[in-house]
């Protein structure tokens, strides 16, 4: 792979990427994990005192379409992992924001995260961990058979908001590339392997804003509103003798045992069985109600608390990118991180990396 394509400058031992024009856009951060990657990334001491901090190794893994294309891999098992890199602070106001990276769960991940985080403002990279506030969290998370999801979490007003849709992640042992595109018109797209798997509106797919419409809290059901779809038939009458039908009757096939002695065993009576003619307590049949008006619901009105936010997509102080994960079984390899404002360039990067050098094999489990 031609590493000359990587637009990356190392300044003060961190990844400092100048706003380099690419086509009509800008690259804010791009990392292919070439030699010297450790100078650009800071490994956190989170969980170190508890001997639960994992490490990162530089490798292409056990199988790869290009053995010279290395990423960083989690190790050992049953650990917390945290690592981050800094870039020049920027705002995506009036820009499309693209977050893209690749991950390969070479270990056949059974329970653990594979997501990436973007953080704003200043943080202590040496203590970066699960409690560190973030702006965007995106990517796969797997645990057992029930959780195989792509997270897309946005932070607003110090609160995290999850996407309301279920987006399923890949669960095999091959490399996959995940892309999250946020646009200035408050729309978004999620792509897996360059194919759009979800899209929509930030307003409707995250509960960041109050709903535009609500049911009128002051509305009351009219007194004459009949919401009974079926009613008892007023003309149906209980059959004569219905209540005289017993629930059980003596078993007509039962016979008195030959060794039964009334003087010793008492008077013999046949055991009872359910009466096939018994139909339970009588109820009149039900008929459709001619006055039925349907299920009543309050009318919908404009929500007085709703206020449109054209800047819902904006993150004004993005400054760090990182991985903060828990994995029962380690071995995930992360690579080809890209943060830019040009989806076409992101597509090109994906094709030049994941698309050109797809994994050649994998372990069958």
Short-list 14, 59, 16, 17, CA closest to 41: 14
pLDDT tens for each residue of 66-93: 888 999 999 999 999 999 999 999 999 9
Phi, psi of 105 (to 5 degrees): -85, 75
Question: Which of 46-60, 115-129, 245-259, 348-362 has the least mean pLDDT?
Answer: 348-362
Count of alpha carbons within 13 angstroms of residue 261, beta-carbon side: 2
141 among annotated binding-site residues = yes
Candidate CATH numbers 1.20.1290.10, 2.60.120.200, 1.20.1250.20, 2.60.20.30; the one for domain 3-209+310-355 = 2.60.120.200
DSSP helix/strand/coil, 283: coil
CA 241 to chain centre: 62
Could you write out the DSSP letters of every residue in 249-280? EE-TT----TT--HHHH----PPEEE-TT---
134 among annotated binding-site residues = yes
Phi, psi of 291 (to 5 degrees): -95, 10
pLDDT tens for each residue of 190-199: 999 999 999 9
DSSP helix/strand/coil, 112: strand
Tell me the pLDDT band of 217, cut-offs 50, 70 and 90.
Answer: very high
Beta carbons of 16 and 86 less than 8 angstroms apart: yes
pTM: 0.78
């Amino acid at each position: 792979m031609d590493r000359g394509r990587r637009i990356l400058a190392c300044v003060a031992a961190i990844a400092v990427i100048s706003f380099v024009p690419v086509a009509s856009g800008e690259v804010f951060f791009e990392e292919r994990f070439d030699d010297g990657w450790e100078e650009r990334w800071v490994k956190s001491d989170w969980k170190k005192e508890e001997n639960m901090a994992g490490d990162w190794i530089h490798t292409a893994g056990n199988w790869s379409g290009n053995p010279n294309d290395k990423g960083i891999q989690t190790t050992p098992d049953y650990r917390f992992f945290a690592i981050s890199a800094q870039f020049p602070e920027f705002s995506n106001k009036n820009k499309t924001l693209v977050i893209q990276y690749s991950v390969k769960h070479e270990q056949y991940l059974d329970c653990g995260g594979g997501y990436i985080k973007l953080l704003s403002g200043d943080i202590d990279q040496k203590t970066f961990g699960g409690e560190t506030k973030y702006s965007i969290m995106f990517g796969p998370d797997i645990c057992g058979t029930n959780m195989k999801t792509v997270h897309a979490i946005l932070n607003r007003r110090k609160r995290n908001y999850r996407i309301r849709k279920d987006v399923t992640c890949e669960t095999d042992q091959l490399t996959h590339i995940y892309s999250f595109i946020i646009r200035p018109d408050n729309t978004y797209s999620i792509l897996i392997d360059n194919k759009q798997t979800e899209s929509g509106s930030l307003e409707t797919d995250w509960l960041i804003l109050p709903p535009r419409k609500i049911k009128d809290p002051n509305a009351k059901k009219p007194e004459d509103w009949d919401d009974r779809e079926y009613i008892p038939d007023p003309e149906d009458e209980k059959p004569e003798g219905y209540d005289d039908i017993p629930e059980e009757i003596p078993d007509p096939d039962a016979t008195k045992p030959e060794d039964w002695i009334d003087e010793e065993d008492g008077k013999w009576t046949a055991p009872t069985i359910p009466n096939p003619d018994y139909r339970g307590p009588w109820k009149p049949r039900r008929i459709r109600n001619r006055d039925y008006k349907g299920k009543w619901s309050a009318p919908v009105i404009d929500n007085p608390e709703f206020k449109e936010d054209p800047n819902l997509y904006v993150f004004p102080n993005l400054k760090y990118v990182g991985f903060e994960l828990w994995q029962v079984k380690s071995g995930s390899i992360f690579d080809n991180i890209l943060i830019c404002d040009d989806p076409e360039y992101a597509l090109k990067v994906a094709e030049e990396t994941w698309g050109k050098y797809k994994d050649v094999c994998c372990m069958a489990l």
